[in-house]
Structure 1
């Protein structure tokens, strides 16, 4: 039996997105997905208890120069879905079934930090609250996402 580590086929993408090497085996064959890369989302903490990532405002704005509301939701869905997948474990997949967002304040520049924390971790459903904050720690938006866990 060999202890040799086989790198994930998308190791460079995973590293660029902040996914630690020790978590690569848990990732799907699709890596983090193309939207995560396009939005500039980078994970800073990955666990079942807390999934955290940053996203730049630059290149993710709406016509008035503020961070697009949909960008908030992309970050929230990314964090909630990854957190649900970590809870579900290998051999299972998750699909989003509901998400909502409340936008509290705008942001025109800088880096947004999103944090997903579990509200419910069940056998077939998970629900996470995802809070986006500006660099000063002010709440920008609050999302709630529910994922269904499926056997492959």
Structure 2
């Protein structure tokens, strides 16, 4: 049995609220249809439907689309492991290895922590296609940023 890593109670309603962003007008996540679909004790899962707007000129999912999905799920996870009344997390570095092309269906990204520290966290993200094939493996480092007092920014 895995140990629960989240610093706060998280649920799908919270994730949908975050998807709408500051001002509630929507974000890249809403534009691309990315949704948190599973919340485990030490992992998050997000999905993204594949459509032609994600294609590169060769008719397969653009590598950048995999990276957007990877950074989204890892960023959510990074923020869920910190006290969000005092801190927030932002992506600091990300890499991706593209292993298999995708053309249809839904992509599923699973993130788990490699390291959770006071100033940064590192997340591994594996992205699968609808057939269950591993299409991309990514690693993201998130910086933990202290929130400023009111009136001085985040």
The equivalent position to 1:141 in structure 2, one of 117, 136, 139, is: 136
Q: How many residues align structurally?
A: 132
Give the match's secondary structure for 1:88. coil
**Is the CA contact 1:99–1:144 (under 8 Å) kept in the aligned structure 2?**
yes
Give the match's secondary structure for 2:81. helix
Give the match's secondary structure for 1:109. coil
Could you state the TM-score of these two structures normalised by the residue count of structure 2? 0.78
Unaligned runs of 5+ in 2: 1-10, 148-154
Deviation at 1:114, TM superposition (A): 0.4
Matched, 1:79 2:73: yes
Consecutive aligned runs of 4 or more in structure 1 exceeding 2 Å deviation: 26-33
Which residue of structure 2 aligns with residue 3 of structure 1? none
1:1-152 residue pairs with structure 2 within 5 A? 20-21=12-13, 23=14, 27=18, 30=22, 34-46=27-39, 49-58=42-51, 59-91=53-85, 92-152=87-147
Could you state the TM-score of these two structures normalised by the residue count of structure 1? 0.79
Unaligned runs of 5+ in 1: 1-18
- Aligned Cα root-mean-square deviation (Å): 2.1
Deviation at 1:48, TM superposition (A): 6.2
